[in-house]
């Protein structure tokens, strides 16, 4: 049988309602220990962008009219908060965003939580496209071993949470036309490609004429038009192919650098 003291203690404990921790407690602790997402504001060729990062890497890049608008967009995408960064972004990131120059983006770390394995593979492959060059959606699908997933590849690029740093602007439609861009549409895509030297007007002209590949008469291989830099390949180049079968029939083989498709046997 319980004593009066024990009964009193039991009654007191049962009368205490469990207290819910303040909603601000976890974010506050996360920030204090350096685990929360924080963000920078940086000017880019396509306007002001906000760059969020976590200890795992860069988690979001997007345009926004204000910090509040960015924070809301970040919360919608990731389901967690992002806070202003006290320190300026590293010079390497500023160079990549402001001038599309500098550090190789493959050396950056990215926080791609929430994306599928396929989506991550698509984005990592896009990182391999050099500045000033473009590849079609079908190239990425083939390179990651999913040649039939061209449309899904386009959808994955449209969901790219870190454009500019993962350069989805360097991926074009399979017919050579530039296509859409997740951060501001075709106009911004043209701006970025122009800065990198890809000559978007030339690319659109080639696409409209049905030219998919250019041939190197000396080495007898065919390439995507921007392989090695469009200025060196397009100028005075009269060896043009509408598809890989036409190139193969002329005795040309796929370039080992840009890796266009091999002509299928009929």
Give the catalytic positions in this structure: 168
135: left (phi over 0), alpha (psi -120 to 50) or beta: beta
Radius of gyration of the chain, Cα coordinates, nearest whole angstrom: 26
Helix or strand (DSSP H, E) at 22 = none
Helical H runs in the chain?
4-14, 25-32, 67-78, 91-99, 117-126, 137-143, 150-158, 186-196, 200-208, 230-234, 244-249
Measured over the CA atoms of residue 157, residue 97, residue 124 and residue 177, the dihedral's sign is: positive
> If you count them, how many residues does the chain have?
266
Inter-residue contact 155 to 88 (CB < 8 Å) = no
Q: Are strands 213-216 and 171-172 parallel, antiparallel or unpaired?
A: unpaired
């Amino acid at each position: 049988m319980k004593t009066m003291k024990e009964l009193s203690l039991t009654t007191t404990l049962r009368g205490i309602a469990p207290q819910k921790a303040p909603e601000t407690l976890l974010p506050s602790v996360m920030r204090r220990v350096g685990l929360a997402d924080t963000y920078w504001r940086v000017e880019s060729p396509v306007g002001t962008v906000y760059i969020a990062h976590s200890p795992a890497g860069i988690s979001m890049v997007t345009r926004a009219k204000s910090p509040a608008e960015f924070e809301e967009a970040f919360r919608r995408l990731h389901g967690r908060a992002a806070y202003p960064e006290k320190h300026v972004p590293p010079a390497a990131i500023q160079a990549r965003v402001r001038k599309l120059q500098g550090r190789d983006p493959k050396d950056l770390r990215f926080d791609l939580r929430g994306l599928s394995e396929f989506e991550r593979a698509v984005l990592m492959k896009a990182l391999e496209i050099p500045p000033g060059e473009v590849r079609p959606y079908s190239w990425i699908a083939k390179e990651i071993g999913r040649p039939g997933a061209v449309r899904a590849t386009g959808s994955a690029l449209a969901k790219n949470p870190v454009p500019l740093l993962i350069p989805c602007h360097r991926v074009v439609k399979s017919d050579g036309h530039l296509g859409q861009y997740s951060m501001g549409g075709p106009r911004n895509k043209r701006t970025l490609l122009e800065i990198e030297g890809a000559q978007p007007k030339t690319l659109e002209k080639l696409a409209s004429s049905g030219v998919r590949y250019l041939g190197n008469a000396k080495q007898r291989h065919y390439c995507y038009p921007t392989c090695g830099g469009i200025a060196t390949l397009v100028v005075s180049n009269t060896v043009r192919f509408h598809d890989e079968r036409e190139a193969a029939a002329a005795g040309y083989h796929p370039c080992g650098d840009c890796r266009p498709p091999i002509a299928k046997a009929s």
